[in-house]
Chains A and B, each alone.
Chain A
Amino acid sequence: MARKVTTRRKLVMTAIAWVLGLMIFFPILWTFLTSFKTEADAIASPPQFLFFHWTLENYHEVQSRSDYFKHFSNSVIISFGSTLIGLIIAIPSAWAMAFAPTKKTKDVLMWMLSTKMMPPVGALIPIYLLFQSFGLLDSRIGLVMVLTLINLPIIVWMLYTYFKEIPGEILEAARMDGASLMKEIAYVLTPMAVPGIASTLLLNIILAWNEAFWTLNLTASKAAPLTTFIASYSSPEGLFYAKLSAASTMAIAPILILGWFSQKQLVRGLTFGAVK
């Protein structure tokens, strides 16, 4: 039974929510607007909101001066690479834990989660030195390896919570019909598991794209993804707000759009299925 709501109350709530929502969103909006300003307009006082000279100059400059696309493709390779490898490793184990659980399964899952509790500085020094001696510093391969490992527990957990919802009887039936393990996976499990795998993929790409501890520490220029690229704006020369904004807009836009699509899975994924 829906409760009656007065139109007035609804209008008031709408107004409050929109004002607060726009305030939260404002830094992103402001960055977007500033990216189309000239540097002089970007620091004008009073600030120019819409009536300034719109220009695409900053975007050209960010690309020509610091090769945005190189860093963009590094981000794509690193986030997609680490997520895909993570999925390949995690799918079998999540499947095993969901459909052939033993007494130890819960302990293994807990232990995997506990590896996320380890602060990254605990591993920074050895990883840095190992990377140095194997020539992996500032390499995409090295970063893919590290990000695969740090996101692996989340990938396993997410897949596990999705796989658990697939009714076991269907697998039993397939088994009774004489389907082998591989056939079971290929023809029965996979079609039912695809939505779960897709949202795991999406969330982990977002996490890997925005990861900013290992990327900042292990890359400098050649393999630098967008996180490191943007960090180079922390020691600016001269006027740079508009260029910073253009670079920032290009760095966050792809993932912001992906993120909006994934908002439902986000809750579930980041709480390891505890809140749905």
Chain B
Amino acid sequence: MATLHTRSAARLMMAPSVLLLLAWMIIPLAMTIYFSFLRYNLLMPGMEEYAGFSNYSYFLTDPAFFTAIANTLLIVVGVLLITVVGGILFALLLDQPMFGQGIVRILVIAPFFVMPTVSALVWKNMFMNPVNGLFAWIAKSFGFQPIDWFASVPLFSIIIIVAWQWLPFATLIMLTALQSLDEEQKEAAEMDGAGAFSKFFYIILPHMARAITVVVLIQTIFLLSVFAEILVTTNGGPGIQSTNLTYLVYAQALLQFDIGGASAGGIVAVILANIVPFSRVRLIGKNLEA
């Protein structure tokens, strides 16, 4: 259908976005790779020299690196667990006939629109603060000792905050998938005597498989790079207990001014982020074409 004329026009029309994205992908990455082989500290300008793989060996043998990797994965897995399970349950609930369904839906999706710095600070101060927070008050009124959330379970606290932000996204997508389920199929199963559980596991869950995959894939991309929530609550601490890879690289570069070491860390982060989800880019694409 496309003539030669339109084809070259099409190429011209695509050029700006393709070239810009190409530049955005290649230039910073090439520079990061280049820096990662230099001994380069912002406090000692003009002293840059070739350092071989020493930045990598420094970064990869730093115990902080392994803590950061573990924390990164814990955040991803923890938030995914809460949001996927919670999202399915909320979607099932919201799919039931009820009064004021639209309003409940609006209430549930609201956290998604709250900027990360606001949600982190509100949770940290007004809920999780061991003296003035609401959680502390609830604990005290039941006669328990309040928990100092960010001192004793910093990573878990961050997981809760991030999960609160992503639960709406999961719920909304699961609900959209659920509502596309054929009502008659459920009825047929009921007539065959299927109980609530077998209906859920044999009809509803398989139907939602694609939505679940999409939620996991898209959230993983964002969750690997959680940053603001850590910066405004714990600064990665106490110690490095809540430092993830993104925060570690940030701290190395902009707090310690070690450009070489941080660049090596950045490259490690890029490689890690690409190992898991990269092959799955096609999966989203496949779903799109269907």
Which A residues are closer than 8 A to B by beta carbons?
A: 1, 3, 5, 9-11, 13-14, 16-18, 20-22, 24-25, 27-28, 30-31, 34, 43, 45-47, 89-90, 92-93, 95-97, 99-102, 106, 108-110, 112-130, 149, 152-153, 156, 161, 168, 172, 181, 206, 209-210, 212-213, 216-217, 226-228, 230-231, 233-234, 236, 240-241, 244-245, 248, 251-252, 255-256, 258-260, 263, 266-267, 270-276
B284 to chain A minimum Cβ distance, whole angstroms, is 6
Q: Residue among A21, A122, A161, A260 with the most chain B CB within 10 A? A: A122
Number of interface residues of B (CB under 8 A): 108
- Tell me the nearest residue of chain A to B7, going by C-beta: A100
Q: A18-B104, A25-B110 are in contact. List 17 more A-B contacts (CB 8 A).
A: A14-B99, A16-B93, A21-B104, A27-B111, A27-B119, A30-B126, A45-B132, A92-B16, A115-B21, A116-B221, A125-B35, A152-B17, A156-B17, A210-B115, A231-B228, A233-B121, A259-B109
| CB-contact partner of B35 in A120, A126, A244, A259, under 8 A | A126
Which B residues are closer than 8 A to A by beta carbons?
A: 1-2, 6-7, 9-11, 13-18, 20-21, 24-25, 27-29, 31-32, 35, 90, 93-94, 96-101, 103-119, 121-123, 125-127, 132, 134, 137, 140-141, 164, 167-169, 172-173, 176-177, 183-184, 187, 210-211, 214, 218, 221, 224-225, 227-228, 231-233, 245-246, 249-250, 253-254, 259, 262-263, 265-267, 269-270, 273-274, 277-278, 281-282, 284-285, 287-289
Q: Residue among A27, A90, A152, A274 with the most chain B CB within 10 A? A: A274
Given contacts A124-B253, A161-B288, A212-B116, contact A110 B21 (CB under 8 A): no
Q: What are the residues of chain A within 8 A of B97 when measuring CB–CB?
A: 5, 9-10, 13
A263 to B109, CA, bound (A): 8
Complex contact B231–A17 (CB within 8 A): no
Q: What are the residues of chain A within 8 A of B246 when measuring CB–CB?
A: 119-121, 213
| CB-contact partner of A46 in B29, B137, B277, under 8 A | B137
Complex contact B98–A121 (CB within 8 A): no
A174 to B20, CA, bound (A): 32
A272 to chain B minimum Cβ distance, whole angstroms, is 6
Q: What are the residues of chain B within 8 A of A241 when measuring CB–CB?
A: 125-126, 132
A116 to B107, CA, bound (A): 29
Complex contact A27–B122 (CB within 8 A): yes
| CB-contact partner of A110 in B1, B184, B281, under 8 A | B281
